[in-house]
């Protein structure tokens, strides 16, 4: 049947394997849910039709079996009544229904096989949709956490880069301090050295000034009679 060939991939699909291969499981699970819900509606309608065909064929088989039994009983009654010709007529009719029963049996076997396959397909779709619905929130939550982790990792890399920049600034500051210390040292070296003789000269000049003051003070005291 066409419906069976169209949905062969569904009945053989492993939904977990498909999700594991997906680059974005969150989007994939929504996509599969939509597709499988549409497929389920079509499969359900086809399954109902196939099961109805199985029931109709079964009913024809049952009705034919009743005809076979009926003419067999009539042939027995005719024989018991001593009417072999009537019995032959009934047996000939029974054989017609026997032949028809063989064809109906073949038709029923095919209808039953199709109904089993369609029911398996229907049940698998229902199960897979239930599985996806159950996993949907968990998958979306995991994907959200993964994306957050990616952002955290990127921020961490930026922080590491910032630390590297801070280290570079520290090295520049240390270099500036070194340059300043060297400049100060050069300034000290460029200044005039201390002249010790000149320093001592200033000392003795001060001493001479002090002696002169003392002499003048003594003369004034003597003049005043002190």
Three-state helix/strand/coil letters over the chain: CHHHHHCHHHHHCCHHHHHHHCCCHHHHHHHHHHHHHHHHHHHHHHHHHHHHHHHHHHHHHHHHHHHHHHHHHHHHHHHHCCCHHHHHHHHHHHHHHHHHHHHHHHHHHHHHHHHHHHHHHHHHHHHHHHHHHHHHHHHHHHHHHHHHHHHHHHHHHHHHHHHHHHHHHHHHHHHHHHHHHHHHHHHHHHCCCCCHHHHHHHHHHHHHHHHHHHHHHHHHHHHCCC
pLDDT of 51 strictly over 60:
yes
Distances (CA, A) of 198 to 57, 119, 155, 193, 204: 138, 122, 69, 12, 10
pLDDT tens-digit map of 156-166: 666 566 566 66
Q: Are residues 117 and 223 in the same domain?
A: no
Give tens-digit pLDDT for 142-152: 666 766 777 77
* pLDDT band with cut points at 50, 70 and 90 for residue 178: confident
Judgement on whether residues 14 and 114 belong to the same structural domain of the protein: yes
Is residue 164 assigned to a domain? no
Provide the number of structural domains found in the chain: 2
CATH number reported for the structural domain that contains residue 148 in this entry: 1.10.287
pLDDT of residue 153: 73
Q: Domain span at residue 207?
A: 195-226
Quick one: 152 and 201 in the same domain? no
Same domain, 98 and 46: yes
Q: Residue 13's pLDDT is what?
A: 53
Q: What is the pLDDT of residue 1?
A: 46
Whether residue 82 is contained in a domain is answered as yes
Q: Which two tokens stand for residue 98?
A: 């026997």
Question: What is the chain's mean pLDDT, rounded?
Answer: 78
Q: Mean pLDDT over residues 106-134, rounded?
A: 87
Question: Would you say 7 and 79 are in contact if contact means Cβ atoms under 8 Å apart?
Answer: no
């Amino acid at each position: 049947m066409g419906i069976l060939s169209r949905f062969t991939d569904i009945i053989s699909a492993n939904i977990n394997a498909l999700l594991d291969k997906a680059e974005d499981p969150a989007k994939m699970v929504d996509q599969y849910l939509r597709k499988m819900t549409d497929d389920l509606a079509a499969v359900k309608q086809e399954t109902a039709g196939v099961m109805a065909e199985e029931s109709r064929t079964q009913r024809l088989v049952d009705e034919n079996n009743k005809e076979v039994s009926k003419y067999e009983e009539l042939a027995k009654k005719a024989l018991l009544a001593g009417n072999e010709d009537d019995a032959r007529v009934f047996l000939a009719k029974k054989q017609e229904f026997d032949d028809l029963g063989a064809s109906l049996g073949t038709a029923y076997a095919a209808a039953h096989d199709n109904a089993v396959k369609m029911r398996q397909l229907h049940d698998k779709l229902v199960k897979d949709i239930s599985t996806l619905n159950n996993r949907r929130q968990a998958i979306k939550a995991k994907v959200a956490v993964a994306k957050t982790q990616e952002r955290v990792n990127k921020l961490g890399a930026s922080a590491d880069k910032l630390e590297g920049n801070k280290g570079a600034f520290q090295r520049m500051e240390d270099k500036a301090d070194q340059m300043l210390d060297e400049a100060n040292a050069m300034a000290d070296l460029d200044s005039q050295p201390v002249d010790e003789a000149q320093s001592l000269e200033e000392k003795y000049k001060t001493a001479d000034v002090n002696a002169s003051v003392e002499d003048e003070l003594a003369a004034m005291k003597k003049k005043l009679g002190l």
